[in-house]
Structure 1
Amino acid sequence: MAFYSIGDVAERCGINPVTLRAWQRRYGLLKPQRSEGGHRQFDDDDLQRIEEIKRWIERGVPVGKVKALLDGDKAPEPGNWGVLQEEMMGTLRQVNPAKSRAQIAIFCQHHPVDVLIDNVFIPVRETLSLDHATARIMGSMLDGILIEQAITSLTDSRTKAGRDALLIGWGVEDRTRLWMEAWRLSHRGWRINVFAEPLELPHPEFFPGQHILVWAGKTLSDEQRQQLVHWQKQGYVITAHGAADVL
């Protein structure tokens, strides 16, 4: 039987080791074996269980209720991500960066980053995009913290095995979303170097031999798709990242 370290599992499943430890210690969701040296050892059954946990959380089930589902109890209705959104909004209204930073760190301990980005961070940012001064101040503070979290994750990912790539925003204006996508990718086993300024045209000829990921929002336009195919036919390693262009 094959065994995996917590680092191996984190890379395979796209889950931060801190989150895996919280699932084990706080919620009793995992019961890894221990090596003679006391290190956690996960097997294939553990990996399947982790994927099942992720599926429930992605449906919006609170992490505290997942164990009952895994133990065979009746499935509850999917949870309401609005609860976490309101918690974040309440903290942001205090305009205290330290409190907001701590709250996001706690969220990240309990939920996969992918899920938080799509169900909490993006909706909260959309709410804060209202055109009045207080919302803009709160939104700017949140963006700074999210970018900071992304940079920390990118830096940490470079100390681990993974795939190297450049992430370039293509014809988009939301710089914070670009950093959030870099954060997402770093939790999928990529070691990302992100271009802070989106480009109108990525120019893959400037980066021979490097893997380029382009992010253009949710979908590529027809013109962008044609251009992407053209670059690929020329031999450039360039692919699209996004909800409709899964890697």
Structure 2
Amino acid sequence: MALYTIGEVAVLCDINPVTLRAWQRRYGLLKPQRTDGGHRLFDDADIDRIREIKRWIENGVQVSKVKALLCGEELDLETGWRERQETLLHYLQCGNPNRLRAWMADVGRDYPAETLVMQLYTPLRRRLQCQQVTLNTLLSLLDGALINYIALCLASARKHSGKDALLIGWNTQDTTRLWMAAWMAIQQGWRVDVLAQPLSSVRPELFPRQTILVWCGDAPSHQQLAQLEQWRCEGLPIYPLNGSGRDPSRLIQDI
């Protein structure tokens, strides 16, 4: 029977080890084995369970209710992501950055980065993107808090083993989405540095001997995909990173 460390499971399931520990300690969703030294070991059944938990969460089920579903209980499964958006909006309107940061850190421990980006932060940011001054101010507050939180996550990831990479935004204007792409990348095992401002063109020769992750937004152009394919054929370590959170080293083969 194959056994996996928490780091290996994090890569296999695209999830932060911190979230796996929270699911075990706070909610009793996982019961990994332990080595003599106390390190967690997961088997194939645990991996299947983790993926099932992720599916429930992506459908809007609160983490605290997932255990009952795994035990076969029937619940009223009203979508919970809109409710979380309203909770986040409330913290933004309160104008208290400390409470906002604490809430974001709490949900960041309970949910995978990809799920939070796709189900919580991106939909709420779209709701706030308009010409109305108040909503624009709330969006700016949210973006600042997000970038601050993600920067802390990137710094924490550098304390652990992983693959080093530089993340570059290419022809995309949304700097916050660039940082969210970096957040998803670190949960795939990358240790990421972010080029803070997106570029209109990418020049790999400026970053010799570095692995480069390229964020082209949710819909890369045919020209961008063709250029990425050319770099791949030249043997350069440059990989596209899209909004799905999938491993860039596999994505390059899909172009």
Give the CA deviation at 1:128: 1.6
Name the SS of the counterpart of 2:123 in structure 1.
Answer: helix
User: 1:49-68 CA deviation, whole Å, 9 max, x = no partner?
Assistant: 11221122122222122222
Tell me the distance in 2 between the aligned counterparts of 1:45 and 1:140.
43
SS at match of 1:93: helix
Q: Which amino acid aligns with 2:98?
A: A
TM-score normalised to structure 1 length: 0.90
Mapped partners of 2:135, 2:176: distance in 1: 16
Change (3 A) 1:233 1:137: same
Taking the aligned partners of 2:41 and 2:235, their CA distance within structure 1 comes to 41
Change in Cα spacing, 1:205 to 1:245, as seen in structure 2 (3 Å) is farther
Give the match's secondary structure for 2:166.
strand
Deviates more, 1:130-139 or 1:196-205: 130-139
Answer yes or no: is the 8 Å Cα contact 2:23–2:110 preserved in 1. Answer: yes
Counterparts of 2:99 and 2:123, CA distance in 1: 19
Given that residues 114 and 245 in structure 2 are in contact (C-alpha distance below 8 angstroms), is that contact kept between their aligned partners in structure 1? no
User: Cα deviations across residues 137-183 of structure 1 (Å, max 9, x unaligned)?
Assistant: 22112111111111111112122222222111001111111111101
Gaps of 5+ in 1: none
Q: Residues 99 and 15 from structure 1, CA distance in 2 versus in 1: closer, same or farther, beyond 3 angstroms?
A: same
* Structure 1: distance between partners of 2:80 and 2:195: 34
Deviations 1:34-92 (A, max 9, x none): 33444433333222211221122122222122222222334754623101000000111
Q: Assess, with a 3 A threshold, how the Cα gap between structure 1 residues 222 and 245 changes in structure 2: closer, same or farther.
A: farther
Q: Which residue of 2 aligns with 1:238?
A: 238
SS at match of 2:21: helix
Q: Which amino acid aligns with 2:188?
A: R
Letter in 1 for 2:84: L
Shift of 1:209: 3.2
Would you say the 8 A contact 1:219–1:245 is kept in 2? no
2:66 aligned residue: 66
Mean Cα deviation higher: 233-242 or 169-178: 233-242
Conserved 8 A contact 1:208-1:236:
no
- Normalised by the size of structure 2, how large is the TM-score? 0.87
Displacement of 1:195 after TM fit?
0.5
Structure 2 gaps, min length 5: 249-255
Give the aligned partner of residue 164 of structure 1. Answer: 164
Residue aligning to 2:114? 114
Provide the aligned C-alpha RMSD in A. 2.1
Please state how far the C-alpha of 1:2 moved relative to its aligned partner: 4.3
**For 2:22 and 2:245, how far apart are their aligned partners in 1?**
32
1:119 partner amino acid? Q
Alpha carbons 1:209, 1:236 under 8 Å: kept: no
Partner of 1:51: 51
